[in-house]
């Protein structure tokens, strides 16, 4: 986190990978939630305007945890497109965010 702090005021978006990129069926790394919390706190404390985006293993459960931690944008590929019911998966994600809010 210390490496990115000096440039946070210049950014529009910060991407947090919540899995190990480039590997299949990777599990959600719960420790990344603390990074999201820290980024969100810094954003509030310093008046920064960046959005926090999360990518990797976003499903109807992890999306709530990430939103609660402070994420704004969510990338969900496999959860949506590895299903027979793409629209249903998108609806589940939307409902999960509605439940969180």
Taking a C-beta distance cutoff of 8 angstroms, is the pair 101, 63 a contact? no
Dig out the tokens for 37 from the structure. Answer: 């919390």
pLDDT on residue 75: 94
Taking a C-beta distance cutoff of 8 angstroms, is the pair 70, 30 a contact? no
Per-residue confidence in pLDDT tens, the chain, 101 aa: 789 999 999 999 999 999 887 776 678 888 999 999 999 999 999 999 999 999 988 999 999 999 999 999 999 988 999 999 999 999 999 999 987 66
- Give phi and psi for 97, each to the nearest 5: -70, -35
Domain limits of the chain?
A: 36-45+52-101
Report which of 58, 61, 38 is spatially closest to residue 48, judged by C-alpha positions: 38
pTM of the model: 0.90
pLDDT on residue 100: 66
Q: What does the alpha-carbon distance between residue 98 and residue 101 come to, in Å, rounded to a whole number?
A: 5
């Amino acid at each position: 986190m210390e490496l990115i702090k000096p440039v946070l005021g210049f950014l529009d978006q910060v991407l947090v990978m919540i899995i190990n990129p480039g590997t299949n069926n990777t599990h959600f790394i719960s420790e990344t939630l603390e990074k999201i919390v820290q980024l969100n706190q810094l954003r509030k404390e310093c008046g920064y305007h960046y959005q926090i985006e999360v990518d990797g293993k976003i499903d109807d459960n992890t999306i709530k945890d990430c939103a609660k931690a402070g994420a704004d944008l969510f990338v969900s590929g496999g959860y949506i497109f590895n299903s027979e019911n793409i629209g249903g998966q998108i609806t589940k994600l939307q409902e999960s965010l509605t439940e969180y809010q």
